[in-house]
Amino acid sequence: MDSAVRWLRISYWVGAVVDALAGVQMLSPRLFAFGMGLDDFRPGPDTRYAMGIVAALMFGWTAALLWADRRRIERRDVLALTVVPVILGLAANEAFSVGSGFLSAQFVAPIWALQLGLGVLFLVSWRRAGDALRAAAPRPR
């Protein structure tokens, strides 16, 4: 059980840090433009509004991951919910942005690598926690 808890804690905290950094990036159009390789990015009020919504959701997800860390095993499903639909949804949106020519694949590829790494980490942690719970459950006689 200790190993499963360690994996969960790592997952929750890594996810929370990544989400918080993404939220900060959404609040700063310059930082977003730099990270995405956009030389002449001048968002209007509509785009700033949308980025503000995304930032709020990223900070909310940061809080959800830290909340899950308070009852690590019982709230392990937060990790599965982080992979589907959050990480997969973000990756699909990025693929659309690359396909439309807004973003360059060279700048999105490291993000996809990070998302893949996080997805694997979260699903491995989620699975290990489930296995630990089943192993610790009393056996019927």
Query: Which residues make Cβ contacts (< 8 Å) with residue 113, sequence separation at least 6?
Result: none
Domain count, the chain: 1
Q: Do the domain assignments include residue 83? A: yes
pLDDT surpasses 90 at 30:
yes
Q: Do the domain assignments include residue 33? A: no
The residue segments making up the domain with residue 109 are: 2-16+56-136
Return the SS3 of 6: helix
Summary mean pLDDT of the chain: 96
Amino acid letter, 19 = D
Mean pLDDT of 32-40: 95
- Per residue in 50-70, pLDDT (tens digit) is 999 999 999 999 999 999 999
What letter does residue 80 receive in the DSSP assignment?
H
Residue 58: name the closest of 87, 98, 94, 101 by CA: 87
The rounded percent of the chain whose pLDDT value lies above 90 is 95
As to burial, measured by CB atoms within 10 angstroms (0-12 exposed, 13-18 middle, 19+ buried), residue 70 is: exposed
pLDDT surpasses 90 at 85:
yes
Q: Please give the model's pTM, rounded to 2 decimal places.
A: 0.93
pLDDT at 97: 98
